[in-house]
Amino acid sequence: MFPLPFKPRRILIGYNVHDKLVSYLHERRADLEYRSKLFTDITNGDMAWADAFIGFRRPPVTDWGPKLRWIHSMGAGVDAFIFRTDLPTDVLVTRTNEPFGPQIAEYCLTRALMFTQHIRSFERSQLEHKWEPRFIGTLAGTRAVIVGTGEIGSEIAQRLAAMGCRVEGVSRSGEPNAAFAVMHRVADLQRAVADAQWVIAALPLTEDTFHLIDRQVLSACRGAVLLNVGRGPVVEEAALAEALERGWLNGAALDVFEVEPLPPDSPLWDDPRVIISPHIAGLTTTAGAGDGFLECLSELESGKLPRWTVDRARGY
């Protein structure tokens, strides 16, 4: 059991715009000590100084530090800290309370429309000064299967349903969810994706979801477009090229990858059927990061376990 109340004093921040976050927090809690750097610049000495760490990823250190008792993840996913890592079991992990669903839903809707409206093809025609009319489809009447039906998956479902898509969900239990027309169990994933035009991964990375969408699942698709806005390793990335060549997939929009940044020699870069973005579908704001941390801090100081505490056994 995590010892409560917990009142950390030294807060280490590893973040690209760390100075803004320090300013935001200092205005609200000037009684705390802050040390901030790019997460890639954090050292073992920094970790040894800290009671708590705020960031997206594990810094490049060999030791979590003797005093570290709390990690606050600025992203919705916490796999960087708990998935196959050596983080001590007595370190508390919490996550941001910032809602990423609306941003990620817009990302998915935009990419789906890009494929439906042949946006990239028309861009190429424009660059070549070619007048090339072609058939344009609609999202209405298509079938989307969303793997992961939490807050983010449900938000995506609502946006696609508003465009006239039939939206079905996949979860561990398959229990009814008001955001989805039909729910499937993970055990039935291959059958669920068979006739889908859109297969959308909106899952956290856990032992249960690692390579959940593997070659076998991809081979069950019949010309779907895959969108991954969860975590890269949820999809067996090495099988994507084959899936595209064999027509199991007609395209893919990928925001997350097994290795990030995506290596320059990845064949995905040059495939015209693939839309790549650099993990930006749901971006954390300074206010969102700061408020989430402060909410958890307040609860810890008052002797409560934060409601945004991560269940390390489940992975989220």
Q: Interior CA angle at 34 toward 28 and 36, to 5°?
A: 115
Task: Please pick, among 18, 184, 279, 299, the residue that the annotation labels catalytic.
Answer: 279
Would residue 231 show up in a list of annotated catalytic residues for this protein? yes
Q: Report the alpha-carbon distance of residue 92 to residue 80 in Å, rounded.
A: 14
Q: Report the alpha-carbon distance of residue 247 to residue 11 in Å, rounded.
A: 50
Would residue 260 show up in a list of annotated catalytic residues for this protein? yes
Q: Interior CA angle at 97 toward 95 and 98, to 5°?
A: 115
Is residue 9 a contact partner of residue 23, using CB atoms and an 8 Å limit? no
Would residue 211 show up in a list of annotated catalytic residues for this protein? no
Give me the phi and psi of 39, to 5 degrees please: -65, -25
Task: Please pick, among 260, 301, 307, 314, the residue that the annotation labels catalytic.
Answer: 260
Q: Report the alpha-carbon distance of residue 284 to residue 76 in Å, rounded.
A: 9
Task: Please pick, among 69, 155, 231, 237, the residue that the annotation labels catalytic.
Answer: 231
Q: Report the alpha-carbon distance of residue 5 to residue 134 in Å, rounded.
A: 64
The catalytic site residues sit at 231, 260, 279
